[in-house]
């Protein structure tokens, strides 16, 4: 059955109060202190930005990690990483998880944010797709072609780096900057020759439209995601303590999803209205593991930032390290 674009747009964070899957694990820790001393978490409301594709809220609910919170959490849903970074910079949200590129665009724009945590996935779900009947088989074949991509997303970095690897530049193709839902529509209608995108959109296109991957990020980019916090929230001792606790809960939820992959895939499919097959593919290859904000991670991100600078895709040079804040590392391990 052909998937309609409205269904892609409808991958939503359905907050289901009756979700009864699993209990709260023992991995979470209630952070009630900061370096400046004790704080009152009961007065805190943590504003967390979510992506339709990542479904942080759904994962935390399913794993029981939203049970017995010592603070309040309010989730808001965004279509992709770039608007999440913008919202954090404007203090519209306190915390968000984004891919490897929105933080680079944020750093280049001198956004009022810091990177407070890192995660790693395989990168296999971040891919360059062509139609099932397309004669395009390599990245080099994209020369002169129209390629849909969300500007400032991890897919944007994958596209840029894959082109560079093939001896091409962005100027050798015609990038069509579209949000995921619009990208899917253009891709399935044949208005573009290829689509650079990430899971679960990659899995949906593969499973339901017969899309073929000609290159994935594990061969050119990195599979990192990042927790981004607003400078305003980080300047608040109570919110900082809540952020530390929230990151620990997410880490515990990730472990739960690995140990209960069938349950999690089924739940995600039901609550986001995608097929179970697409959900299983997504969470087999795109589970994001919390890792340290190490020198290796920072160096890898700087390489991507420099590639965007070289391509004149961002203003000037982005200093990624200047936006890294490692005070929450204990909450992500």
Same domain, 11 and 134: no
What is the SS3 assignment for 35? coil
Q: What was the pLDDT predicted at 54?
A: 79
Q: What was the pLDDT predicted at 14?
A: 31
Buried-exposed string 21-52: b where 16+ CB fall within 10 A, e elsewhere:
ebebbeebebbbebeeeebebeebebbbbbbb
Q: What is the distance, to the nearest Å, from the Cα of residue 161 to the centroid of all Cα atoms in its chain?
A: 18
Domain that holds residue 198: 127-219
Same domain, 320 and 188: no
Q: What was the pLDDT predicted at 285?
A: 86
Neighbour count for residue 295 (Cβ, 10 Å) = 9
Dist. CA 320–CA 115, nearest whole Å: 9
Residue that terminates a domain, selected from 189, 219, 249: 219
Same domain, 53 and 196: no
Count of domains for the chain:
2
Terminal Cα distance for the chain, rounded: 42
Q: What was the pLDDT predicted at 37?
A: 57
Residue that terminates a domain, selected from 219, 239, 273: 219
Same domain, 39 and 188: no
CATH of residue 72's domain is 3.40.190.10
Q: What was the pLDDT predicted at 17?
A: 26
Residue with tokens 């340290």: 292
Identify the CA nearest to 209 among candidates 267, 268, 272, 129: 129
Same domain, 213 and 161: yes
Same domain, 56 and 147: no
Q: What was the pLDDT predicted at 316?
A: 87
Same domain, 240 and 323: yes
Same domain, 193 and 112: no
Residue that terminates a domain, selected from 204, 219, 234: 219
Same domain, 118 and 229: yes
Tens-digit pLDDT string for the chain (333 aa): 333 343 444 443 332 222 222 333 333 333 333 444 578 899 999 999 998 777 899 899 999 999 999 999 999 999 889 999 999 999 999 999 999 999 999 999 999 999 999 999 888 989 999 999 999 999 999 999 999 999 999 999 999 999 999 999 999 999 999 999 999 999 999 999 999 999 999 999 999 899 999 999 988 888 899 999 999 999 999 999 999 999 999 999 999 999 999 999 998 888 778 899 999 998 888 888 899 999 999 999 999 999 999 999 998 899 999 999 999 985 443
Q: What was the pLDDT predicted at 115?
A: 97
Same domain, 201 and 241: no
Q: What is the pTM of this model?
A: 0.82
Same domain, 186 and 229: no
Tokens read off for 158: 């994958």
Same domain, 112 and 228: yes
């Amino acid at each position: 059955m052909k998937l309609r674009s409205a269904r892609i747009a409808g991958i939503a964070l359905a907050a289901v109060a009756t979700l009864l899957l699993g209990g709260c694990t023992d991995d979470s820790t209630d952070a009630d202190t900061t370096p400046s001393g004790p704080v009152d978490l009961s007065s805190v409301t943590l504003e967390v930005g979510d992506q339709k594709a990542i479904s942080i809220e759904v994962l935390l609910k399913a794993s029981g990690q939203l049970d017995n919170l010592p603070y309040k959490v309010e989730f808001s849903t965004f279509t992709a990483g770039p608007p999440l970074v913008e919202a954090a910079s404007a203090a519209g949200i306190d915390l968000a998880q984004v891919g490897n590129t929105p933080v680079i665009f944020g750093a280049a724009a001198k956004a009022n944010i810091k990177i407070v945590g890192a995660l790693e996935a395989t990168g296999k779900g971040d891919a360059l797709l062509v139609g099932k009947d397309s004669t395009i088989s390599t990245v080099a074949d994209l020369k002169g072609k129209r390629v849909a991509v969300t500007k400032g997303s991890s897919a944007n970095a994958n596209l840029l780096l894959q082109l560079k690897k093939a001896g091409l530049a962005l100027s050798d193709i015609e990038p069509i900057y579209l949000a995921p839902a619009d990208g899917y529509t253009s891709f399935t209608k044949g208005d573009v020759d290829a689509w650079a995108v990430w899971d679960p959109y990659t899995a949906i296109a593969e499973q339901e439209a017969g899309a073929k991957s000609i290159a994935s990020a594990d061969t050119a980019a990195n599979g990192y995601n990042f927790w981004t916090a607003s400078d305003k929230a980080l300047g608040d001792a109570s919110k900082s303590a809540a952020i530390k606790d929230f990151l620990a809960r997410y880490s515990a939820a990730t472990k739960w999803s690995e140990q209960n992959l069938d349950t999690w895939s089924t739940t995600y499919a039901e609550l986001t209205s995608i097929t179970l097959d697409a959900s299983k593919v997504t969470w087999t290859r795109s589970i994001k593991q919390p890792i340290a904000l190490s020198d290796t991670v920072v160096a890898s991100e700087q390489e991507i930032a420099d590639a965007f600078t070289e391509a004149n895709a961002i203003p000037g040079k982005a200093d990624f390290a200047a936006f890294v804040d490692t005070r929450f590392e204990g909450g992500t391990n």
